[in-house]
Amino acid sequence: MAVILGIAARVLAGISLVAGVFFVFRAIRDRAQSARAPYDVGRQEARLAMYTDLARGGAAFFVGLILFAIVSLVSAPAQITGVEGGEPTEVATETAVPLITTVVISPTNTPFILPTNTPQLPTATTLPPTPTIVPTDTPPPAPPTATVSSGVGVWLRSAPGTSAQQLEWLLDGTVVTLLPGRETADEFEWQQVRAPSGQEGWVAAEFLVVNQP
């Protein structure tokens, strides 16, 4: 398509230039005729025709120059790209080939470590705490007791003997606690006792009846 337009533009440019030359020569002829015209009217008509031909010739030259400029602009890209006779020529282009770097990883001699059977130590079993047995307080055995049995009662004296000081009168049936002391005085066996009031003294043993535990 560009080639056809270029040829048409060249033809029109040539026609315009030829027309311009034609009108210029005719303007020259009109000037010569105006000089030879015997009357003023003929001279004016010849001059008007000359000016008209000059204008036409100038316009034809102008159009021709424009067409030649268009042809030059159209043909310039074709020359650059190597177009000749309407057939595009192959232009060799260099295609950038990516550089591929191949990395070769050589195997290394890695020592293979065999797993060793590590003996597992027995885990300590946590035993529940042993309950602590708290010994209970065993009450001591009750001390032996005796009951006063004389019919009326008996004196609790400060020492063995009938002449010892009288501390307390113990009625018949009074329960006393027997103490370790036991002596003989004034033909009587005397037993050391503790009265219910807490008073300790001596009582004739024959007036006491030992209670069974």
Any domain includes 105: no
Please give the Cα distance from 174 to 198 (Å, whole number): 13
Which tokens in the block code for residue 114? 């065999």
Any domain includes 129: no
| Residue partners of 169: CB distance under 8 A and separation at least 6 | 153, 154, 155, 156
Share of the chain above pLDDT 70, in %: 68
By 3-state DSSP, what share of the chain in percent is helix, strand and coil, each rounded to 5?
A: 35, 20, 45
Which tokens in the block code for residue 95? 């295609």
* Domain-ending residue, one of 33, 63, 80: 80
Any domain includes 115: no
Any domain includes 131: no
Domain count along the chain: 2
Q: Which residue has the higher pLDDT, 37 or 138?
A: 138
Q: Choose the weakest-confidence range: 49-63, 95-109, 122-136.
A: 95-109
pLDDT at 115: 58
Q: Is the pLDDT of residue 133 over 60?
A: yes
Enter the pTM of the model: 0.38
Q: Choose the weakest-confidence range: 13-17, 52-56, 208-212.
A: 13-17
Name residue 84's beta-bridge partners.
Answer: 87
The CATH code of the domain that includes 200 is 2.30.30.40
Any domain includes 117: no
Domain housing 28: 2-80
* Domain-ending residue, one of 58, 80, 102: 80
pLDDT at 40: 61
Q: Taking residues 16-33, what's their average pLDDT?
A: 78
Any domain includes 204: yes
Q: Taking residues 150-173, what's their average pLDDT?
A: 95
Any domain includes 48: yes
Q: Is the pLDDT of residue 83 over 50?
A: no
Any domain includes 6: yes
- Kindly list the strands in the beta sheet with 188-194, ordered across the sheet, starting from the edge strand earlier in the chain: 166-171, 153-157, 200-204, 188-194, 175-185, 145-148, 208-210
